[in-house]
Every structure is written in structure tokens, then in C-alpha cells.
Amino acid sequence: MTNGAATHCPYCALQCAMTLTPAPAAPPDVAGRDFPTNRGGLCRKGWTSASLLQHPGRVTEPLRRGADGVHRPVGWDEALALITAAVKTTRARHGADAIGVFGGGGLTNEKAYQLGKFARLALGTSRIDYNGRFCMSSAAAAGMRAFGVDRGLPFPVEDLDSASTILMLGSNVAETMPPFVQHLQGARDAGGLIVVDPRRSATAAFTDDGGGLHLAPLPGTDLALLLGISHAVIHEGLADAGYTAARTTGYEAVARSVASYWPERVQSITGVPAGLIRETARRLADGSRRGGSYILTGRGVEQHVDGTDTATAAINLALLLGLPGSARSGYGTLTGQGNGQGGREHGQKADQLPGYRKITDPAARAHMAAVWGVPETLIPGPGLPAVQLLKSLGQPDGVRCLFVHGANVAVSAPDANAVIAGLRSLDFLVVCDFFLSETAAEADLVLPVTQWAEEEGTLTNLEGRVLRRRRALAPPPGVRTELWIMARLAEALDAPSTFSEDPESVFEEIRLASAGGLADYSGIDYAMLDRGEAAYWPYPAGSTGTPRLFLDAFAHADGRAVFTPVTPRRRTPSSGPGTGSAASAADPAGTPMTLITGRLMEHYQSGAQTRRVAALAAARPGARLQIHPAAAAAQGIAEGDLVSISNSRGEVSCRAELSTDIRPETVFLPFHFPELESANRLTEAATDPISGMPEFKTSHVWVRPAAAEPRANELQKEGAL
Amino acid sequence: MTERIVVVGFGPVAARLVDELLPAVRSGLAHLSVVGEEAEAAYNRVLVADLGVGRTTAAALALSDAAALIADGVDVRLGVRVRRVDRARQQVVLSDGTSPGYDRLVFATGSRPVIPNLTGLNPDPAAPVLPAGVTALRDLRDAAALQAAVAGGKRVVVLGGGVLGLETALAAAEEGATVTVVHNGPHPLGRNIDRGGGAVLAASLRNCGVRVAGNARSTGVEHNAPGGGFSALLLDDGSAIDGDLLVLSCGVRPRTELAEGCGLSTGAGILVDHKLRAHHEPHIFAIGDCAEVRCPDPDCIECRTARGPSGLVGPGWRQAEWLAEYLTLLAAGSPGAGSLPPLAPELPGVIVLKARGMNMAVAGEVRADPWDEEALTAGAVNGRARLQIAQWADPEHGRYVKMTTRAGVLEGLVVVGMPRTAAELVQLFERGAELPADRSLLLRLDGPDQASVAGAADPERTVCRCAGVSGTTIAAAVSAGCGTVAEVSGTTRAGTGCGGCHNDIKGLIEAHFQAAVA
């Protein structure tokens, strides 16, 4: 244990602490390490993470795709020369914005920062965005709007331990970040865990036996449910009037906007009994006067075309109760990806510069121009958010040459068939990965990069705490770090400014770049992190950081939090291409069901890593469609039957898993699997107008036994293709 | 050119229309005036009974803020009556002496309470002057009267067994008043509910402390209280029900006088077509309680079966949203106005009783009984499926469910005393979704077995979900010498994630050693 590297898990934003001890001729030994977030616990994904380091399928040399579609090894010099030529040709023919960069929320702070700088200064493009758009964008936009700053949890996670009431909306932590569940125990013991999920998820099951309440609204009605709870808070006199008067603006407008959402009406919209809506309001108010009340949101309520408004409704509820910025209560969003927090702060978002600065803000641009030593005019303006960026692939005036770092859009992006078609229409695709992911398989050039155990850097966890990732072993000889690749390419492209390949040097630059910004890291350095200090941003130089935000003031100029009234918009979910349209002509006959997508314990994101871990793949080898026995019986589907799930965007084929844990009109698919089992073939690329978040949770699909004859319109469609 | 839109009335439906028109006002597309007779901007009338029993505040009922609307450029006139509408000049003549012109006029005048013909009550429906101690519970002043009675623990008599009457009665009883509901017919909600549901409903009301006087025909009111206030409701059998406050809850009637006065066609309400336009008058619209959708085309099948105004606020809000979109397109001169699909016809209204102590929902046509062959086959022609009825009655425990379906889709429902079932059925009804073939699935939602019990006895079952470790694996580790949770965790990784299974592991260890002892 003593000679192991003290690092953190490669997967989710809980960033469980682990120790990696190299073992001769075997993967390093993984051990849980005591830390406030995971207290020594790890889930199955973490325990088995080291098996990927020496995986036989690992890409260990640059691979170039031949005319025959087969990837063959090439040397690094040749690979870099190919990219340089492709960039120069694309720029000359179509302009710099024809080059796109797609980043990821799993990249270290150093890589995320450098990627934004590389796109804007070395490539000269505005077209950079990342997969966090599918993850945190709605909650981030809502947090900015309400609080003036977005830090997933504005308090340390162990604050939850003493809470009496925790309302979790659309988050299945029992599967996605199991060690987090320890922090719910106090609320469960107090009978105050309230889980909102259309499914009786593993997390919802924690409310059994007196643990609390499970509210199961119809998919897509979360916003109305929140308005109903807020209505009950106001009308039962549970609102904290002193708090709303002293610390917020806009209370009256929100009170008016929820006046027409009385619990019985909300019951008719959501299917949640009025009594449970009132009970939830009372328990939240009661909890805030005892051990504390917390409201936490996850992707279930955020991944909607009105995801920002839904997160805002959750924040409004929290503000009515006086939770945010109090010592023992609060609102938070549970960040998903490993560096989903840091990854959204340092400039890989289309509209953002490092330090969570706005790219349209002249002062922010001037600051960054000074840090980078370039004229301000050299920094491009805002680009396109992820879904629009992917839609533009291969289009006239769209992106023709794309760099992908730490993302597998062929599986994780909505309307995946269209995304794959877009990737294939590119002039040149470069993917940095350590496996031949479904996206890498489409690439003209695949560059092998280091895994977490082979590199140094920092990540910022779901609480806004900056953590050190440490190298435990050397990478295979042909593998490089992304910092090295960017440095070489910047050199070849005669880029201005500097591109270091040393993580600590890049972090020192992040300190300068983020100084004075919302996410200020200027007071943090590697030495301090290596001493084990708990560094929560904002951490301006000379301060001691900010474990708890908002205790004195919110981040708006007047120090107050802002209530924004939100109400559901009428929208007919589409089953076909385009946005917002009603059922398309290509829809099969019969009643559509509502598809919600989500995660399994055994897999992480697109599954590019976890599907290659033998133990995880054995436990969950493929997708299964969760369907209610009554719905299955109506279609003649039995447990384990092969079923077809389709709409006009695509078709998925997998086995059925009958369960009363899901509502009868709703089906569930995990999105970790590719090809015929890829749930995102069915999701719609419609997006939230504020955050750019796609709609992942209310797609219309038709489910039938796979053996059935193809329907006439399906044949027509195939003919048309 | 800026389109002048005048909205007559400022209740909840008008408020929604105004909100939805704000973008057009802000962009200069429309100039909007809204004329309200009450001194307050729109508030939520649905909650007036809650206010009347002191459960909420007048401030919390507000739906609109006049100052904010004025800041947005809306011409808000409160405490102003419309004297008449001059269609020839396209003007509304107001009580404040002005006569603003309009390009589009929207009636959202709502409805007024029906004042029953009783001796001792002024029967003039247009200008009811109710004696002291009698209220119709329609506006904020009425609520104040009820609040005084409830706070004083007085006796409240509610005349009328409709949903608003029942809600008022339940709320007042729960807050400490002595309440009697007086209704005609054998059970309350006579117009909406079937016999079985009505009987269980009446019993449930009594359980909640509300006295229910059924089959009662009232004839007059007595004013023997000090100051000439209400003292008793007189019935035709010669008896009297004593009380301190009489709440009239005898239904509402659309307010159509202004429309009639300017020559528009009216039926139960102001007659409008599928675009909510008054008949033969493209400049005037009506929405909400005052409007009756029935187009001039005698062959329109939809209108042949149309019901009059529902008296519920939901349909009015949907009309307001649709009309705002339509008026905005018209104001913009957009060709989209012609192609905007008309509002879908309303389903029969859903009634969900707003009450704390009991639960009831009813919707659609529910009169037919399971063995009523004639009613079930009526309408089942040309391949249309016949009605099917599933029913569950447990009057002893205050539970009753009826599901009336055609081809698996609800046409009517009654649920008393089963909140989860009610919530589920109502949203199935509203979505027109098919019910599971096994209807008992819906009844079981309120069963005590809802929380499924993990199969603790199955040794293959996963004990530690985080690490994916089965009971068999843990038992093997215990057999191999692990005697503590920490030792089991060290060997199998069970319990190393969330720690939620530590008790289960402990149980397996104990079971092993007990077995060894035995």
C-alpha cells in the first residue's frame, strides 16, 4: 500500500479515492482509500478499472484508416503530418470554422483547458463543444441564472449526512455512483429520502420500509410536479418569508406562476397523488428546521428540452424554503462525468473562456488575450453547442474536419444514426482514445493516449473540490498524452502562445487564466493538493477556498438569488427527424410508448471502457428493454424475448426484461451499448433553447416482438435508404 | 401596424391569455387592453374556498401583477365595467368614460353563481344582492365571510352537492366549522357520479365530519339572527337546517349579457366556432366559462355532441393559449394564421376533489353498470367496440372504483378512497391511453404490498449490488473462514460500495454460525 499511487477512480464525478499499487506482470492492484466522498468504498466499476491498462484491445500506436476501411499502424511523425496537412487544407478551402473540436467531461482540467486554447489559437476555430452538453448544461444554465455561478454541489458532500430530508429528482445514484449512497443514510433513517423517478429504480427502492417516499411521475412531467410542490409550500404557509425577502429577488412572480398548479391539478398531469405532493412539501419544510433539507437534481429531470426550466423549478422550490446558502440545507446537481465539473469551467464549451468566463464578455476576452499573449481579435467568438455542432458535420458551411477527445458520440449523442452519418461525411476525422471506440472506428486517424493511471493532472469533483490524479505506472511505449499531441500540433501549425506538455505547467497557466473568474483556481497549486489540502473553488490567491458557497451572498451583483418563473410549454414529442413536430408519417401503427434512457451499475457512459472489462461485460453483456408485464402481455412479449424498439429515426433490438418497477406506458433502455442495441438511435436531437441539452427522456417508440413481420412503412424506409 | 386587442374580464383565463400575448405586446405587434370589474388583477378563483377556510392567503392566489403588466406596456383597467360593445365603431364603452377601439375583442367574462329561487333571497340573477349571512363564494369578499364563520367555529350550511360545495364543506369542517351539505337527489355530485360511487362518497363525507342532508328540496331562508342575518335553511318537508352562514353552491351560469347586448349569438354561453370566433363576427372571440364552442355549420359532427361550457378552468386555459397564438399570428399578418390547426375538442372534464381528508376523482360517462346490457351495447355499431365496465366496491372501507372503457380506453371513471389508483386513472383518461388488460393491476396500486419485498430467501440473489456479489459467494466466503463483515468485504468486495448491505452480510454470517451450532 505504501508505495502505491494515491489517485482517484477514472469514472464518475464522485471521484472515489483509490490507491494503485503496481504489480509485476499484472494490472496494478486497486484498493479503496479513505476520503470524505467514498470513505474507502468503491463500486464494481472502480474495482475492475485497472484491467483496462493492459487490455489486449488497447490502441498502442497511431492507426490510419486505409481505403479498404481497415486501420493500420503508422508512425507518430506521419500521423502528425497528416493532421497538419488536413487542418491547413480545410482552413484554406473552407475557413477555420470548418474545423471542429469535440471534447469530453472526462478530460483532466489541464487537457480541457489546453483543448479550448488549442481550438481557438492553434486551429483558429470557434467550433468547439463537448459531451458535457449532454450532461450538465441544463443544471449549469439554471444555476447561473439563479445563483450567478454553477458549482454542482455548493457544499461538501458529507454535509448531506446529517440531513433530515433529501429530495432527489431524476438521479439513480444507487447504480451510477454507489458509494454516494452512504450520504443518504441519515435521511433514510429519518424517513426523509424522497425520490422522484418514473421507475422504481434501485435508488427509489431505498425509500421502502419507512425510508421515505417514491414519487413516480409520467416521464416529462417533472416540471409540473415541482410547480405543484412549490404551490403547496406557498399555500400551506411553509415558505421562508424572511429568507425570500432578504436574500432573493422575484418571489412574487414565481408565487403567481405556481398559483395555478394546485396539487390536484398537478396530480392529473403527473399521476402523482395530491397527498404525496403536499407530504413532500411538508417534509422539506420540516427537514429544514431539523437536520436540514437538500434538493438534488440529476439527468432524469435535466435531459429535456425544458431541462433548464425544470432545474430552475427545483431551485425555485429550494429558494422558497430558504435552503440555498444556509449552513445545513441546500440545492445541488449531481455531476456525472469524472471531470464534468472542471470540464465545464475551462473553455471547452462553445460560449466560454477559462475560469467560467463568457466568451462574449469584452473584459473576459481581454483578460485571456493578456494571459495568452495574443491580440484579443485572435480569439474567435462563440461557436455551436454540441448537438448543433454534430448536426453541422459534413454540411455546407459546417464542420469538415473534426477532432474528438474523450468522447464517443457515435453512441452517446442523440439521434446516433444521424451522428454516424455525419462522421462518415467528414473530410477528416481524428479521434484520441485508448480503445477503438465506435467513434474511433469511423476515424481517418486514431491517436493512442494515456489512461488515468498513466498520467498526472487534476480533476474537479462533483463538490467543486480539486483533486490530484497521479501516475502509477508508465504507459505503453507508443502511447502519448493529449498535452503532448497538442503541443506538437501547435508547433507544426505555427500557433501563437505556448502549449506545454507538462501538466503542472498547464495548471499554473490555469491559475492565471482563471484568476478573477467565477471558477477561480488562482490560489491552488500541485504542492498544496499533494499535501492533501481540501481545495474547493472559488479559491482566489491568498484565500482558503470555498467549501460552502452562498453563506453570505449569492454571486449576482446585488448578492441575491434570482427567482425565474417557469411553466411547462406545450410540446408533442416527436418520433421522427426534426424538432417539435407531431407523429411523423413513417410511424408504425399502434400506440407509441415513452422511452427513457439511463444507466446501469456495471457500465459507464458509452461503455467504451466498461464493455471491455470482462467482469462487467459478463454481468451485463448487453442492453435489455425494461418493460411492464402488462405492456409486454399486450404485445405478446415474454421475459427474455427478443424485441424490436423502433421509430422513424431508427431501430433497436434486444431482449425484454419484464418488471413492475416501471410504469406501463414507459420503457427503459440503458444507453451504454452500440449498434443494434444503441438506445440513442431512437432519441431526438431536439434541444433546450437555453442550455442546448438534448431531449433524452421522452422519445416515442413502438415496441413489438422482433420476430414479427416488418411493417410496410419500414420496408419503404429501407427502400428509400 | 399595431393590432389593438381588448380583453373583457380579468379572471384566470384572461390572465393566461394576457401572459401569452405579452411577447406580441413587447415586440410592438399588439396593443393590449384588459378590463377587469374587480379591483384586483386576476387571482385563482379555484382556491377561493381554501382562502375562505384560512388555508392560504389572498396574496398567494394572485395570478397577475398589474404593475408588471403595465411596465410591459399593457393597458390594465381595474375596477372598470364595460357598459356596452359598439360593434359598428369597434369600440368598448367603459364605465370610466373612455371608449377604446379594438381590432380584436375577446370576451373572458366568465360566469356567475346561480342564485336559487328561494323565499328570502333576491332572485334577480344579474344583480344578486344577498342578505347578511349568505354568500355564493365566488370572490375575495365572499371568502372573507366564510373565513369569519370558520374562525368562529360557526355552523355552515352548504346548499348544493356539486364539487365546489363539497370542497368548501370538507375544508370548513376540517378547519373546525360545523358543516351540513344540503343537496337534492339521493347522493352528492348527482350530475357526475354513479350510484355506487355516490353512496361511498356520501359515507366518506360523513366520516370526515360533514353532515349530509340528501333528497332535500330547499324552499327558503330564514333571517332570525341578530341584525337580520341568516339563521336557517327551510326545506319543503317543513323542516329547517339551522346555521350561521349559508354558502350557495348551486352551479354557475355564463356571463353573456354584454355579448347579447351587442347582438352576438348565445346559447348556454357566447357561441363561438372552432377558432373561438363569435358567429359571423371575425373581430370578436370568447374563451373560458362564458364561451360555448358550437360552430354555425349544422353538419359538424363534433358540435352535435358538444357539451356546453364545462365550468372547469383547464379547458379555458387551453383556449387562452391557443387564442394567444392565433391572435399573434393574425397581428403579424402571418399566413400561418390560416393554417393553424384549431384547438382539439375537449374531453369531458375531470373532477378531482380538492380535499385533505378524502380522495375522489370522477370523469366522463359513468352511469352504466357491468350488467347493464342495453347501456353497454348502445353506440357499438359499425365495428365500434362496446363498453366494458370493471368495478370494485368496498363501502365498509370507503373504497370504490369504476372503470368504463371502450376498446381498452377509458370513457369514464369513478375512484373514491384510493389515491394512487385515482392519480393513475385520471392521467390514463386524459392521455386516452389503453388500460392494462388486467384491470386489477390498477386497484393494487393502493395495496399494502406495493413495496415489493426482496426475495431474501433466494441464495443466488445479489446481496451487494455495488460490487455485484451474490449470497452464494458470501456464504462461501463465510464457510472459508470469514467471520466479520470486514473480512467478507476483504475477500469478496461485498459491502465495499455504499455499505447498504452490511446488515445482510451480517445476517448471512450469523446464519452460517447458527447452522454450525445446530
Each residue's pLDDT tens digit, A17-34:
999 999 888 889 999 999
What is chain B's alpha carbon radius of gyration, rounded to the nearest angstrom? 30
Bin B251: left if φ > 0, else alpha if -120 < ψ < 50, else beta. Answer: left
**pLDDT score recorded for residue B314:** 83
Convert A585-645 into a string of H (helix), E (strand) and C (coil).
CCCCCCCCEEEEEECCCCCCCCCCCHHHCHHHHHHCCCCEEEECHHHHHHCCCCCCCEEEE
pLDDT at A515 over 50: yes
pLDDT at A578 over 50: no
Q: A631: which chain B residues are within 8 Å (Cβ-Cβ)?
A: 436
Is B60 within 8 Å of A660 when comparing Cβ atoms? Answer: no
**pLDDT score recorded for residue A614:** 93
Please, what is the average pLDDT of chain B?
A: 89
Answer with the residue of higher pLDDT: A198 or A582. Answer: A198
C-alpha cell at A675: 449498434
For A570, counting Cβ atoms within 10 Å of its Cβ (0-12 exposed, 13-18 middle, 19+ buried), the class is: exposed
Nearest chain B residue to A278 by CA distance is B356
pLDDT at B448 over 50: yes
Lowest mean pLDDT among A200-214, A301-315, B428-442: B428-442
Tracing cell 328561494 back to the chain, one arrives at: B118
Q: CB count, 10 Å around CB of A24? A: 4
Give the minimum alpha-carbon distance from A649 to chain B in angstroms, rounded to a whole number: 23
Residues A668-709: pLDDT tens digits? 999 999 999 999 999 999 999 999 999 998 899 999 998 754
pLDDT at A309 over 50: yes
Q: B493: which chain A residues are within 8 Å (Cβ-Cβ)?
A: 44, 47
Among A256, A269, A270, which would you mutate to test the B interface (most chain B Cβ atoms within 10 Å of its Cβ)? A256
Looking at A292-445, list the stretches that DSSP marks H as alpha helix, in order from N- to C-terminal side.
299-302, 307-320, 362-372, 386-391, 409-412, 416-424
pLDDT at A718 over 80: no
Q: A219: which chain B residues are within 8 Å (Cβ-Cβ)?
A: none
Cα–Cα distance measured from residue A719 to residue B246, given in angstroms and rounded to the nearest whole number: 73
**pLDDT score recorded for residue A589:** 67
**pLDDT score recorded for residue A381:** 97
Q: Which 593-632 residues of chain A touch chain B by CB within 8 A?
A: 601-602, 615, 619, 628, 630-631
Q: B423: which chain A residues are within 8 Å (Cβ-Cβ)?
A: 267-268, 270-274
CA atoms within 13 A on the CB side of A541: 10
Q: A178: which chain B residues are within 8 Å (Cβ-Cβ)?
A: 465-466, 497-498
Residues A374-396: pLDDT tens digits? 999 999 999 999 999 999 999 99
pLDDT band, very low/low/confident/very high, at B344 (cuts 50, 70, 90): confident
CA atoms within 13 A on the CB side of A316: 32
pLDDT at A712 over 50: no
pLDDT at A585 over 70: no
| CA angle (B242 as vertex; B237, B248 as ends), nearest 5 | 85
- Strand-pair partners of A610: none
Out of A44, A206, A267, closest to residue B466 by CB: A44
pLDDT at B493 over 90: no
Q: B422: which chain A residues are within 8 Å (Cβ-Cβ)?
A: 267, 273
pLDDT at B203 over 50: yes
**pLDDT score recorded for residue A587:** 60
Mean pLDDT, residues A225-239: 96
Is A271 within 8 Å of B452 when comparing Cβ atoms? Answer: no
Is A274 within 8 Å of B468 when comparing Cβ atoms? Answer: no
**pLDDT score recorded for residue B451:** 41
Mean pLDDT, residues B69-75: 96
Residues A422-473: pLDDT tens digits? 999 999 999 999 999 999 999 999 999 999 999 999 999 999 999 999 999 9
Which among A606, A571, A593, A608 has a CA at the least distance from the CA of A680?
Answer: A606
Out of A208, A235, A272, closest to residue B60 by CB: A235
Amino acid at A710: P
Is B452 within 8 Å of A660 when comparing Cβ atoms? Answer: yes
Cα–Cα distance measured from residue B45 to residue B10, given in angstroms and rounded to the nearest whole number: 11
pLDDT band, very low/low/confident/very high, at B505 (cuts 50, 70, 90): confident
pTM here is 0.89
Residue A169: which residues within 8 A CB-CB, separation 6 or more?
Answer: A196, A222, A226, A295, A296, A297, A298, A300, A301, A314
**pLDDT score recorded for residue A583:** 44
Residues B24-33: pLDDT tens digits? 999 999 999 9
Answer with the residue of higher pLDDT: A589 or A7. Answer: A7
Please, what is the average pLDDT of chain A?
A: 93
Tell me if ipTM is over 0.90. Answer: no
Cα–Cα distance measured from residue B229 to residue B244, given in angstroms and rounded to the nearest whole number: 8
Number of H helices and E strands in chain A, helices first, is 24, 30
**pLDDT score recorded for residue A571:** 56
Lowest mean pLDDT among A66-70, A499-503, B264-268, B348-352: B348-352
Mean pLDDT, residues A35-55: 94
- Strand-pair partners of B277: B285
Q: Which 37-66 residues of chain A touch chain B by CB within 8 A?
A: 39-44, 47
**pLDDT score recorded for residue A630:** 87
**pLDDT score recorded for residue B496:** 77
Which among B156, B133, B163, B164 has a CA at the least distance from the CA of B48?
Answer: B164
Residues B104-139: pLDDT tens digits? 999 999 999 999 989 888 766 556 678 889 999 888
Residues B383-399: pLDDT tens digits? 888 999 999 999 999 99
Check: CB of residue A218 under 8 Å from CB of residue A663: yes
Give the minimum alpha-carbon distance from A225 to chain B in angstroms, rounded to a whole number: 13
Nearest chain A residue to B312 by CA distance is A265
Mean pLDDT, residues A135-149: 94
Lowest mean pLDDT among A229-233, A644-648, B342-346, B446-450: B446-450
Mean pLDDT, residues B74-81: 96
pLDDT at A263 over 70: yes
pLDDT band, very low/low/confident/very high, at A330 (cuts 50, 70, 90): very high
Size of interface A-B (CB pairs under 8 A): 151
Is B436 within 8 Å of A660 when comparing Cβ atoms? Answer: no
Bin A703: left if φ > 0, else alpha if -120 < ψ < 50, else beta. Answer: beta
pLDDT band, very low/low/confident/very high, at B458 (cuts 50, 70, 90): low
Residue B188: which residues within 8 A CB-CB, separation 6 or more?
Answer: B161, B162, B165, B166, B181, B198, B201, B202, B205, B212, B214
Q: A601: which chain B residues are within 8 Å (Cβ-Cβ)?
A: 465-466, 468
- A384-411 burial string, b = 16+ CB within 10 Å, else e? bbbbbbbbbbbeeebbbbbbbbbbbbbb
Determine what percent of chain B is predicted with pLDDT higher than 70. Answer: 96
Out of B16, B419, B441, closest to residue A273 by CB: B419
Is B44 within 8 Å of A253 when comparing Cβ atoms? Answer: no
Is B352 within 8 Å of A265 when comparing Cβ atoms? Answer: yes
Mean pLDDT, residues B304-330: 86
Out of A42, A259, A591, closest to residue B62 by CB: A259
Q: B500: which chain A residues are within 8 Å (Cβ-Cβ)?
A: 181, 185, 206
Among B415, B496, B502, B505, which would you mutate to test the A interface (most chain A Cβ atoms within 10 Å of its Cβ)? B496
Is there a cis peptide before residue B370, judged by omega within 30 degrees of 0? no
Give the minimum alpha-carbon distance from A533 to chain B in angstroms, rounded to a whole number: 24
Q: Which 422-441 residues of chain A touch chain B by CB within 8 A?
A: none
**pLDDT score recorded for residue A708:** 53
Mean pLDDT, residues B53-58: 89
Nearest chain B residue to A660 by CA distance is B452
Element at A358 (helix H, strand E): strand A357-358
Determine what percent of chain B is predicted with pLDDT higher than 90. Answer: 55
Is A256 within 8 Å of B64 when comparing Cβ atoms? Answer: yes
Residue B163: which residues within 8 A CB-CB, separation 6 or more?
Answer: B189, B192, B351, B353
